[in-house]
């Protein structure tokens, strides 16, 4: 799961609680955060996807931007779910929240994520050096109906 996520999974329940608290605050400040994904057929929780307003980190000289992301339980990989959830998230961001640009970020070897971002409709822009020394990829998509 964490092969391309910096290999620093949370270890304490308190870390997850802090993340949930952050998400609730993001709903209040920016009307959106990551969402649970349920598989329609089974009703099972299979992971998360959605938009997050990034104001606590800098990526590729950007801060204060919306990022589309996803993380699925491995047995649900390769079924197109990240693409489906990502497309729904971008549609919501553009048509309901009227966001001008949505960005995506992956580690350079994360081929599954790279492919999913392209299928969602984002464009690969460039590779960049992150502050932790890793090389990451930068993607974006513009809202054609932005007003």
Ligand X SMILES: CC(C)(COP(=O)(O)OP(=O)(O)OC[C@H]1O[C@@H](n2cnc3c(N)ncnc32)[C@H](O)[C@@H]1OP(=O)(O)O)[C@@H](O)C(=O)NCCC(=O)NCCS
Query: Would you tell me which residues interact with ligand X (CB under 6 A)?
Result: 1, 4-5, 70-72, 77-83, 106, 110-113, 115-116
Least Cβ distance, residue 147 to ligand X (angstroms) = 30
* 5: CB partners within 8 A, 6+ apart: 71, 107
At 136 the three-state DSSP class reads strand
Least Cβ distance, residue 18 to ligand X (angstroms) = 20
- The residue among 22 and 29 lying less far from ligand X, judged by its C-beta, is 22
Other CB atoms within 10 Å distance of the CB of residue 101 = 14
Least Cβ distance, residue 86 to ligand X (angstroms) = 8
- The residue among 29 and 134 lying less far from ligand X, judged by its C-beta, is 134
At 64 the three-state DSSP class reads coil
């Amino acid at each position: 799961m964490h092969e391309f996520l910096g290999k620093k999974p949370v270890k304490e329940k308190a870390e997850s609680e802090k993340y949930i608290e952050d998400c609730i605050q993001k709903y209040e400040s920016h009307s959106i955060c990551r969402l649970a994904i349920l598989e329609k057929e089974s009703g099972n929780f299979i992971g998360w996807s959605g938009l997050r307003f990034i104001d606590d980190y800098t990526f590729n000289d950007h801060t204060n931007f919306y990022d589309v992301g996803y993380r699925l339980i491995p047995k649900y990989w390769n079924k197109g779910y990240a693409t489906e959830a990502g497309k729904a998230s971008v549609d919501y961001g553009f048509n309901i929240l009227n966001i001008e640009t949505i960005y995506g970020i992956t580690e350079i070897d994360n081929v599954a994520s790279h492919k999913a971002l392209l299928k969602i409709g984002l464009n690969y822009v460039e590779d960049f050096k992150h502050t932790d020394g890793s090389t990451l990829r930068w993607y974006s998509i513009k809202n054609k109906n932005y007003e």
